[in-house]
Amino acid sequence: MKSCILSYILLLPTLALCQTVNFAITVNDSPATISPFIYGTNQLMSGGENWGSMRLGGNRLTGYNWENTASNAGSDYIHSSDNYLPSVFGVPGDSSNVPGIVVEAFYRQAQPFNAYPLVTLQMAGFVARDKNGVVDSSQTAPSSRWAYVKPAKGAPLSLTPDTGDSSVSMDELVNFLVHTYGTAASGTGIRGYALDNEPALWKSTHPRIHPLQPTCRELIQKSVALSRSIKTIDPSAEVFGPVEYGFSGYLNFQSAPDWNSVAFGKSYGWFLDYYLDQMKLASDTSGRRLLDVLDLHWYPEAQGSDGNRITAANATSAADIQARIQAPRTLWDSHYKETSWIEQYYSSYLPLIPKLAQSIAKYYPGTKLGFTEFEYGGETDISGALAIDDVLGIFGKYGVYFATYWEGGSQTPYISAAYKMYRNYDGNNSTFADLSLPSRTGDSVNTSIYGSLKRGSHELHLLVINKNPGQGVAGHFAVSSGSPSGPHVTILSGKVWELKGGSSQIHSANDVSGISDSSFSYPIDSASVYHIVLQTSMITGVSAPAGLPVDFALYQNYPNPFNPATVIVYQVPADGHVTLKVYDLLGREVTTLVNHFQRVGQYSVTFDASRLASGVYVCSLMSGGHTAAKRMVLMK
């Protein structure tokens, strides 16, 4: 590993091998909250990751029967209906048929971390009725091998379901879980429910359950029915959908038979616009929100120059590694062009997060964003850690609400280490701070930086990534206020932890030294991640959002200035109608971001200004007789 040796009197000759990079961190007066639920997983790893969220999901869950714990593997494994899920969760054989035992075992996994538990519900039409092995094509549903799935039972609910009938009811499962753990609002219940798994692929992953390509209309009908059922039992639970598998699903629902007809005469740019629009219309009709989180899966299509996709096991060349560590830029950076079929044919949909934010803002404002499956390859290599730590930083910076990693292989030492850099860098479950600070690097190609302020303390946290595998960085860090009258920060000391190639173990590094007021220098090795914890003097003038809002508040958008998208965070102290609008300086309305009933809480909305000219805009919040406004600067 090539590193830089810094002298605060002289730059030693070794520094000729290093690039000097300036990193700027701004402590503004109203930082946005980083969701702890972006640090999640679908599978337990080596231990010590201190998960913020966990998901019970995947292909197996589409055919899962909660009443007898049977599930079907679909095309993943000979269309077998069996006892796989209880065995995966270590349920003893004499308990493997107990109703709900798989969800209970999952809940017990999540509980030690106080992780957000997300449970997948079934809506493809049928679930496994037995554990008798292979289901051949002659037994395609409906047949005796399958039980019908109903969103609502239409009869009194029981805590002991009838396993002898021919149907399974989702509201009965939700009722069982509420009775067992409480509602989502209680703090101990299941907090979120996903509307099945990757529906655009049902025809290929589960041809015995859903042999025909699902239509757009079918998905909306089933999603609305299941969401209404969930909200009837637990109004405080969050609903995740459409749990879409990848870009072709985002685009046209895998060329759904009715896509052209539902999109005809509409302004939909892709299927996700239609989905959001239809879910909002159904919500308005129902008088309550039926979609809380836009749930997507993201497996990058980026390739190295040798044609290997970065998520493939053989993507190990220098070209593959370079493509992997740059691929996170596709999430946010309009200047980056990856090598992929998406970039080649559908570049107008990239970068991805601003495009998604634009769709949400236009068709269903207030919907949160989640990625419940994603991976970038390199799980046994430092490049995998560099990519995932960059992705997690991006998720925090751009207001993603929920994210759970999906393992691509059985060994994931560097991915485990990447999560620990945010959630357990010191072995004591210490975490990256929870209030996002604007942070910039002078070289976004080779480096990344993410800054945060720990709520109620004087700690600043920096997560610094050097993506260059052959050159160290002479880093110069400057912490400043967002305005002359803003918070003033004086750095007193700094502790450092590092993750480098050659070992997936995190080590403490040399302390920060040579501090001058709010600046310091520190060497960053090639292909490495550093977590720097700065102790500062008293920080005044920062209005940190509270966990449960008690005041009406509109926080300064972040980033600001911005291009092309920015996140607006606000909170309302009581249930009521909320309006969030954007105006130009002449008082002309530019767009309405929120205009509906919301429960007490804190919310974040992304404002996409791709089609607007540079200038100053005003964000206005109104609710319950209160008003607030903030200026936002668009710089293109």
Three-point CA angle 488, 491, 494, nearest 5°:
150
Three-point CA angle 173, 60, 192, nearest 5°:
45
Q: What are phi and psi of 577, to 5 degrees?
A: -80, 130
Nearest residue to 32 (alpha-carbon basis) of 562, 423, 425? 562
Strands 473-481 and 589-598: unpaired
Nearest residue to 20 (alpha-carbon basis) of 502, 337, 473? 473
Contact (CB, 8 A) for 209 and 126: yes
Q: Which residues are within 8 A (CB) of 155 and not within 5 positions of it... i.e. 6 or more apart? A: none
Three-point CA angle 482, 488, 489, nearest 5°:
105
Only one residue has tokens 């089933």, namely: 222
Question: What span, in angstroms and rounded, lies between the C-alpha atoms of 308 and 301?
Answer: 9
Contact (CB, 8 A) for 435 and 544: yes
Question: What span, in angstroms and rounded, lies between the C-alpha atoms of 225 and 266?
Answer: 24
Single-letter residue type at 13: P
- In this structure, the number of other CB atoms found within 10 A of the CB of residue 636 comes to 12
Omega into 242 within 30° of 0, i.e. cis?
yes
Tokens representing residue 256 in the block = 């759904």
Contact (CB, 8 A) for 21 and 447: yes
Give the rounded distance of the alpha carbon of 548 from its chain centre. Answer: 21
Contact (CB, 8 A) for 390 and 325: yes
Nearest residue to 171 (alpha-carbon basis) of 231, 105, 106? 231
- In this structure, the number of other CB atoms found within 10 A of the CB of residue 322 comes to 17
Contact (CB, 8 A) for 256 and 213: yes
Single-letter residue type at 607: F
Check residue 188 and report its DSSP letter.
S
Q: Is 343 a catalytic residue?
A: no
Check residue 293 and report its DSSP letter.
E
Residue 495 pairs with which residues in a beta bridge? 533
How many Å is the Cα radius of gyration of the chain? Answer: 25
Strands 40-41 and 53-56: parallel
- In this structure, the number of other CB atoms found within 10 A of the CB of residue 473 comes to 30
Residue 618 pairs with which residues in a beta bridge? 583, 631
From the list 198, 238, 244, 301, the catalytic residue is 198
3-state secondary structure 274-301: HHHHHHHHHHHHHCCCCCCEEEEEECCC
Contact (CB, 8 A) for 298 and 375: no
Question: What span, in angstroms and rounded, lies between the C-alpha atoms of 451 and 539?
Answer: 15
Check residue 243 and report its DSSP letter.
E
**Active site members:** 198
